[in-house]
């Protein structure tokens, strides 16, 4: 395979959902073999482009498209809700469709135009059993045996949610880094700190596994909404305020839907030498 995409370089798009930013490569037009080293090089905000996650689009026999996600540290992730929304919006704009099916490591997802420039994605049903997260042993996922009494949820990736008096007061960088690698989570975990801001309104800050502090996270928002509903702190439809803005999350019978804005920021081209050097 020509790992450079073409002799002219590898085109990409930069997108974000509430400041949660992504590099997107359309492998349907420019096939590329992404490696962990290449993902880390593109993620470098000083020597590359910079991203929270990298998404690669491919064709799929049973869906409108297929997505593969890479974290900034070069590890793979099965789910990335905001990137899925961003790419769905671009694809709907390109094709004129109002709904799409998208295959990810999470499974087959539905995306819809929600009006007013907003996009909705169904991330599917949450995993609530300890094996689903997964945890290292049989544990009550609603009350983990960790100081702070967090909740564990899977949205295709692991989440650990702490309900606190004031999310703003948490040292997110220190606590997030510490909890990501807690031995109860053999595959590491995303970490959220949340407080109830009002009726069915949550304030959340997030540390993403393999990336660090981010302005927003779609799968984390879904996990937080599920955790709050399970704890009886909110109903199943909530507004979540993140550092980058607001998402609406609805835990319905067919899965957890999240809705919010997206942005296509710019397009660029990675030079062939850059791709080849880091592949």
The 10s digit of each residue's pLDDT in 220-245 is 999 999 999 999 999 999 999 999 99
User: 0.85 cut: is pTM over it?
Assistant: yes
Dist. CA 27–CA 149, nearest whole Å: 43
Domain match, 271 and 213 both: no
Domain match, 15 and 114 both: yes
Assess contact for 120 and 102: CB atoms under 8 A: no
Range of the domain at 186: 151-253
Domain match, 237 and 266 both: no
Assess contact for 74 and 37: CB atoms under 8 A: yes
Specify if 234 maps to a domain.
yes
Beta bridge partners of residue 246, listed in sequence order: 241
The 10s digit of each residue's pLDDT in 79-125 is 999 999 999 999 999 999 999 999 999 899 999 999 999 999 999 99
Specify if 143 maps to a domain.
no
**Overall number of domains in the chain:** 2
Domain match, 18 and 102 both: yes
Residue 271: count other Cβ atoms within 10 Å of its Cβ: 12
Dist. CA 8–CA 225, nearest whole Å: 45
Domain match, 272 and 236 both: no
Q: Write down the pLDDT at residue 6.
A: 56
Assess contact for 256 and 115: CB atoms under 8 A: no
Specify if 221 maps to a domain.
yes
Q: Write down the pLDDT at residue 279.
A: 80
Domain match, 18 and 115 both: yes
Domain match, 170 and 246 both: yes
Domain match, 173 and 97 both: no
Domain match, 157 and 228 both: yes
Instruction: State the CATH number of the domain containing residue 235.
Output: 3.10.310.10
């Amino acid at each position: 395979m020509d790992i450079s995409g073409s002799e002219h370089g590898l085109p990409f798009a930069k997108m974000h959902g509430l400041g949660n930013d992504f590099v997107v490569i359309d492998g349907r037009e420019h096939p590329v073999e992404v490696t962990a080293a290449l993902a880390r090089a593109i993620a470098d905000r000083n020597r590359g482009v910079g991203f929270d996650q990298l998404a690669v689009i491919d064709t799929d026999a049973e869906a409108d498209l297929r997505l593969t996600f890479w974290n900034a540290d070069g590890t793979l992730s099965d789910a990335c809700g905001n990137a899925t929304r961003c790419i769905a919006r671009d694809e709907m704009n390109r094709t004129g469709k109002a709904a799409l099916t998208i295959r990810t490591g999470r499974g087959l997802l539905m995306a819809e135009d929600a009006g007013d420039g907003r996009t909705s994605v169904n991330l599917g049903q949450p995993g609530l059993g300890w094996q689903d997260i997964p945890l290292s042993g049989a544990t009550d996922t609603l009350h983990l045996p960790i100081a702070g009494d967090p909740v564990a949820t899977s949205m295709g990736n692991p989440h650990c949610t702490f309900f606190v008096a004031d999310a703003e007061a948490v040292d997110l960088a220190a606590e997030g880094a510490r909890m990501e690698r807690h031995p109860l989570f053999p595959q590491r975990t995303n970490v959220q700190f949340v407080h109830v801001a009002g009726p069915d309104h949550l304030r959340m800050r997030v540390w993403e596994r393999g990336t660090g502090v981010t302005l927003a996270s779609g799968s984390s928002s879904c996990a937080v909404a599920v955790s709050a509903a399970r704890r009886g702190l909110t109903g199943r439809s909530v507004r979540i305020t993140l550092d980058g803005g607001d998402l609406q999350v609805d835990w319905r019978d067919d899965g957890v839907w999240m809705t919010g804005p997206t942005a296509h920021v710019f397009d660029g081209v990675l030079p062939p030498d850059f791709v080849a050097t880091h592949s």
